[in-house]
Structure formats: structure tokens, C-alpha cells
Amino acid sequence: MMLAEHLGIAASSLSTRYKRDIFPADIVVRCMAETSANLQWLATGQGKMFDNSEADTIKLPRKKIIDGKIYDSNYLIFDKAFFLPAHSQMKEPQVILDTEVQYIVDRKFTEINDGKWLVDIEGKVSIRDLTRIPIRRVRVSGVGMAFDCDLEDINVLGRIIMICA
């Protein structure tokens, strides 16, 4: 009775399917969609109740840099084993595609250190090398001529975790 109510069908419909030995494919598919249970387990009772492959993967949003602007570009799914243990603590990871190179970026960070970063300089987004220099300054290099500026002069958007060329 409660199952019929949950599914929004008459209890007599469930009873008829049971009495006539009709396989409830529509109900099984709906149950799979609602619970993420394994289809084989739902249909036959064999195999694992839940497919644990999702627990072993990470789905990262993918963005593209085109003419200095960031645009959405679907998702990429990675096996968690792909990342080193030090990278498993990423708080807001995403993939950035810049020309032919994909960068895995963590958009949440606490401190700016030497290395590659996703930055916004005067409204143009790019991947740059940042080197800290005394008194809250940074040397920006990587595309064209290097320059020094205050940290407040640029908008640091994310730390490059990994380069996938």
C-alpha cells in the first residue's frame, strides 16, 4: 500500500502485476533513479546493492579560457587514485583548459606561495607563475614580460595543482 502510494499508482495495479507475474520494469527503473541502486541487484537480487565506482571517482567542472575570459565547458571525471595524497584535500577543484593544456585548479586557498596560479589581471584571466617577494609583493611571469606588483593589484583565482598536457 505504501509502495503504491509512493509510486503514485493504485494498489490494485501492483497486485495485478504480482498475480500475473508481470515484471515491473518501469518501477525498477524509477527505483534505480531515486536510490542509485544497482540495476542488476534491483531486478534479480544478485550482485552488489550499490555500485561503489562513484566513491572512487571525482567529477570536476571544466572551464575554458578564451580571449582572457572563463567559459563553462562540461565536466571531467577522474579516478581518485590519479591524485597524490597531498592533493586529496582540494576544497574547490576544477579543470581549466588554456589552449591545449588542461590545469587542475583549486579555487579555495589560504595563502599565495610561489608556483603556477590562475589569475585575473585587469579583467583578463590567464595562467601565470607567481613568485612572492617581500612586503606583500609578487613577481608575475609566464606570458610575455615579467613584472612586479602588489598582491592587491591582481586577483588570484586559484592555485594550479596539476598540469595535464
The pLDDT tens digits of the residues spanning 73-128 come to: 999 988 888 887 766 678 899 999 998 899 999 999 989 999 999 999 999 999 99
Q: What pLDDT does 87 receive?
A: 64
**Fold adopted by 55-164:** Umud Fragment, subunit A (2.10.109)
- pLDDT at residue 146 above 70? yes
Q: What band does 52 get if pLDDT is binned at 50, 70 and 90?
A: low
Q: List all residues 6 or more positions away from 28 whose beta carbon is below 8 Å from its beta carbon.
A: 39, 42, 43
- Give me the mean pLDDT over the 29-34 stretch: 83
- What pLDDT score was predicted for residue 88? 65
Q: Which of 2-11, 38-47, 71-80, 155-164 has the highest mean pLDDT?
A: 155-164
Residue 157 CA to residue 63 CA, distance in Å, equals 13
Distance CA 116, CA 111 (A): 13
Question: What are the structural domain ranges in the chain?
Answer: 2-50, 55-164
Q: Write out the three cell numbers for 6.
A: 509512493
User: Domain 2-50's class?
Assistant: mainly alpha
Report the mean per-residue pLDDT for the chain: 88
* Confidence class for position 43, pLDDT limits 50, 70, 90: confident
Give the residue among 109, 113, 107 at the shortest CA–CA distance from 138. Answer: 113
Phi, psi for residue 26 in degrees, rounded to 5: -65, -40
pTM of the predicted protein model = 0.66
Hey, what amino acid is at 156?
V
Residue 99 CB neighbour total at 10 angstroms: 9
